[in-house]
Chain A
Amino acid sequence: MQPGEQRDEVEMLSLMLLIRRFEERASQQYQAQKIGGFCHLYIGQEAVVAGAVAAVRDDDYIITAYRDHAHALARGTSADACMAELFGKETGCSRGLGGSMHFFDRKNHMYGGHAIVAAHVPLAVGMAFAIKYRGEDRVTLCFFGDGAINQGAFHEALNLAALYKLPIVFICENNLFAMGTSVKRSTSLKQIVDRAEGYDIPGEIVDGMNFREVRDEIAEIVDSIRKEPHPAFLEVRTYRYRGHSMSDPASYRTKKELEKYRLDDPITRLRAQLTREGKLTNEQFDRLDKQAKETVLAAVKFAEQSPQPPLEKLYDYTYADGAKP
């Protein structure tokens, strides 16, 4: 996307559908044991990343934690490359060496996929440092969960970003649970956004189930950062429908709570907004959904048919110069 250009909302709805269908299919393939390790699904949170990418340029930097499939898809990594990564195949976005938690796509400015909680927040600050060092007008978007805000790395990174006035938006995807521990049991604050105040970083709260609200808030923040580099903090209130990972039945929350959020589904909501405004028909929506399902099914097929990373390349990705010490 070029500066000043507004992303088409129907296109963004179709991205959210792609994420939803991708994750559903990933869940199924995980249960079929085609996918190994840990696998964290983004279902319910789609409006957050969709709203964010709709608000920034394609050359802005994006980095996130381990619930990262959606961030790669939103950045334009193909469903094929994402599914192949889950399958551990050489055609995956990290050549099958990263797995679910380590999606990378340099070409599309997706900088991971990081699995140690909050360890990537200093990395994001370093990327923002490089932007300022070079005098560019890019912005770094750093996504993390509510679990990250109690880690030392998070606090050190926020302080550094504020001290050096770096162009970065800290986006806390507050889905209310760090694995099975609710925010109430993990965090001494009434609201997460207050963490930012401690570092003199401006903070806002937005409804993460509302695509437009997320997009507009981030667009406004990013606009002000491009004029004068500084950090900003956004608490995005969202919800994950599934457990923390595939192995988590999420018995720490009630059916009632889940149902409440399902009624506020981000896809349903954007669909209703667009339909009401005459920008989308039911037939169009069904077609978009069908396309998303087909894309994902094709991705599964692609992943299945892709080759394993060759054993003889085992030592090729340890040192950039091929050193074998």
Chain B
Amino acid sequence: MREITYRQALNEALAEELERDPNVFLMGEEVAEYQGAYKVSQGLLQRFGPRRIIDTPISENGFAGLGVGAAMVGLRPIIEFMTFSFSLVAFDQVVNNAPNMFTMSGGQFNIPITFRGPNGPAHQLGATHSHATENFYASVPGLKVCTPATPRDAKGLLKTAVRDDNPVLVLEAELLYSSKGMVEPPDEELLIPLGKADVKREGSDVSIICYAQTVPLALKVAAQLEEEDISAEIVDLRSIKPLDEKAIFDSVTKTHRVVIVEQDHPFCGVGAEVCYRIQKNIFDALDAPIIRVSQEDVPMPYNERLEHAVLPNAEKLIAAVKQVCYA
């Protein structure tokens, strides 16, 4: 194992999959000559050439659709959105074309495509550039959605996504590109299956269910809670769809108390689905009502203090944990 950044981990995943399969190509805005808006594709143009690392004009609908069409005839496109906030311009391609094709064609055309890019609020980007899109996309049958929070998960999930025969969205955490973590050496194949959660920290008093940018938040809060003799188990979903029910249920059966901390909005958010499944399947395991911590239900303000107030944060999470623990 060695320590690399989240950004490097994604870069390695892309390079390894481009190397492995000649049908894989990377397309998006600024991915080639500019070396990536967030430098995730740094060096790939030099290594793989302009046939496979392709700059596009600012036409998300156009190049997302191009990817779906190329996938219909057997290529395996990786389409980068500069941010998933811009994927909304391509919503029709991501929601109507990519996931429906397999059904509409009676199973004749599967779409092996990866849509990837940063997702979720970053820092003071305002309402249009701060979307957490996971709950929109996870509600669409035919799509798979994953949300890596560590360099290791980023590499392993992206590689798996590229090899999947369905449309997969890899929602990268915009604020975590420079974060570091331990990852297997490059000569060791790292594939992390979709639909497998990961217990990032063991605990016994409460399960904090989190994903993407809320994982480091939950880990930080767990360390603080430890000092107050509350032992929190951190369950990182890693994939929103498929959802690892078993890992969730195993943890909750152990702790009997749940806080879900999500980076999207509360109304029809990811936590609502997780909460529903817990109460439906293991109601008797619960010792307290489940609490969700999410964004506030408002468009993201630019002002820093207000943004902090909108986001899930340590104060809100600690308060929620104490509430479910009756502490």
* Chain A residues with a Cβ under 8 A of chain B: 61, 63, 92-98, 102, 104-106, 111-114, 116, 119-131, 133, 152-153, 156-157, 159-160, 163-164, 316-321, 323, 325
* Given known A122-B65, A156-B61, A325-B242, contact A319–B70 (CB-CB < 8 A): no
Chain A residue numbers with a CB within 8 Å of B65 are 119-123, 125-126, 153, 156-157
**CB-based nearest A residue for B67:** A126
- Contacting pair A159 B102 (CB below 8 A): no
A119 touches which one: B96, B141, B243 (CB < 8 A)? B96
* Given known A122-B69, A127-B70, A321-B166, contact A97–B61 (CB-CB < 8 A): no
**How big is the B interface, by class?**
35 or more
Chain A residue numbers with a CB within 8 Å of B110 are 320
Query: B226-247, CB under 8 A of A: which get 1 and which 0?
Result: 0000000000000001110000
Chain B residue numbers with a CB within 8 Å of A318 are 102-103, 141-142
B69 touches which one: A94, A125, A164, A319 (CB < 8 A)? A125
**CB-based nearest B residue for A93:** B106
B281 on the interface (CB 8 Å rule)?
no
Min CB distance, A319 to chain B, in Å?
5
Min CB distance, B84 to chain A, in Å?
18
* Given known A130-B69, A159-B57, A323-B166, contact A94–B106 (CB-CB < 8 A): yes
Min CB distance, A278 to chain B, in Å?
43
- Contacting pair B64 A97 (CB below 8 A): no
Query: B189-208, CB under 8 A of A: which get 1 and which 0?
Result: 00000010000000000000
B109 on the interface (CB 8 Å rule)?
yes
**CB-based nearest A residue for B101:** A112
Chain B residue numbers with a CB within 8 Å of A113 are 104-105
Min CB distance, A72 to chain B, in Å?
12
A126 touches which one: B71, B104, B107, B242 (CB < 8 A)? B71
For B61, B112, B195, the residue with the greatest tally of chain A CB atoms inside 10 Å of its CB is B61
**CB-based nearest B residue for A113:** B104
B63 on the interface (CB 8 Å rule)?
yes
- Contacting pair A152 B61 (CB below 8 A): yes
A sample of 9 inter-chain contacts (CB < 8 A) reads A123-B66, A130-B73, A133-B25, A133-B75, A153-B62, A157-B66, A317-B103, A317-B107, A318-B142
Task: Report the bound CA distance from A153 to B65 in whole Å.
Answer: 8
B257 on the interface (CB 8 Å rule)?
no
16 further contact pairs, Cβ within 8 A, besides A126-B72, A317-B106, A325-B242 = A102-B104, A112-B105, A116-B92, A122-B63, A122-B64, A123-B72, A125-B65, A125-B69, A126-B67, A156-B61, A156-B62, A157-B66, A321-B165, A323-B195, A323-B242, A325-B243
- Contacting pair B165 A325 (CB below 8 A): no
